[in-house]
Amino acid sequence: MDSSSNSEISHDFPPFFKVYKDGRVERYTIPDGALKHVPAGLEPVPGIQFKDVVVSSETGVKARIFLPKIDGPGERFSVVVHYHGGGFCAGSPFDSISQNFLTYLVTHANVIAISIDYRLAPEHPLPIAYDDSLAALQWIASHSEGSGPEPWLNEYADLGRVFLVGESAGANIAHYVAVQAGTIGLDGLKINGVLIVHPFFGGKEVDKMYKYLCPTSSGRDDDPKLNPGVDPNLKNMGCDRVLVCVAEKDWLRNRGEAYYETLAKSEWGGKVEFYETLDAEHCFHKFNPHSEKAAPLLRKMVDFITQE
């Protein structure tokens, strides 16, 4: 066989990755350095500590935990569990955009934040990312009696007040985890709310890529991961409140609105709210968090988490 054939591309999904005929996966780079790795142990905001922990020794899945300023003994904090975006094949809790976003939430909502480093496709085909993300929430729940493996969660976490947060593909994962948690039950942990931000729930432009990432999926609307309306377990969604955020110029906007309408009409008994940022694009608040339009959206997220 001509070795030059190994340099031929068999699948190309910009701006995420391409696959060569020899099986190699090459990811496209982000030119502005927005995804720069941030080492653990730094203090990006005075008083906030963060560290990386192993969630599962079997899978190697890790998480980054952010701890707010401690004012006194016995203090307990609500917990934000974050699932990052990136088309299921990119992104990380350890990059600078996740770092900036989570330190904002920790500072302004006064919460513990845990961002899950689920394994990425295509090297780890879907539904592995979904399985890792649910397993991570179960790992967090194991701290409910104060005897889990992570001291920060044992000592400071209020697992009766947990919020799932995700953007883009991470919003899709957050929805899935909330439904599964309500279906199977999680002793000692209560999900109060889910933040669904600029969610990915499929679309013709990405059906082919999703089908490649998840070989067991049809890649179409009969897949409940892409269309929650066909999921018989939707009514079990294990939370009281959901905030769905969309951006007017996001090509995923209409699917996000459809998700809101699906929840509002479903048998799920919680409260769902819709919030739109006009003249804004997909995940603008993460790539340009200091922009004029980002501030109201970020405040809306904080208000959702801190409301009684």
Positions marked catalytic: 168, 250, 282
Can you read off the two tokens belonging to residue 306? 């801190």
Contact predicate 149/178, CB 8 Å: no
φ/ψ of residue 171, rounded to 5: -70, -40
Q: How far, in Å, CA of 94 to CA of 173, rounded?
A: 18
State the Cα–Cα distance between residues 175 and 280, nearest whole angstrom.
Answer: 23
* Tokens representing residue 103 in the block: 């330190």
Cβ 99 vs Cβ 66: under 8 Å: no
d(CA 10, CA 20): 5
How far CA 67 is from CA of 105, 106, 185, in Å, comes to: 11, 7, 27
Q: How far apart are the first and last CA of the chain?
A: 66
Token code pair at residue 50 = 């963060």
The pairs formed by 4-12 with CB atoms below 8 angstroms and a separation of 24 or more are 11/212
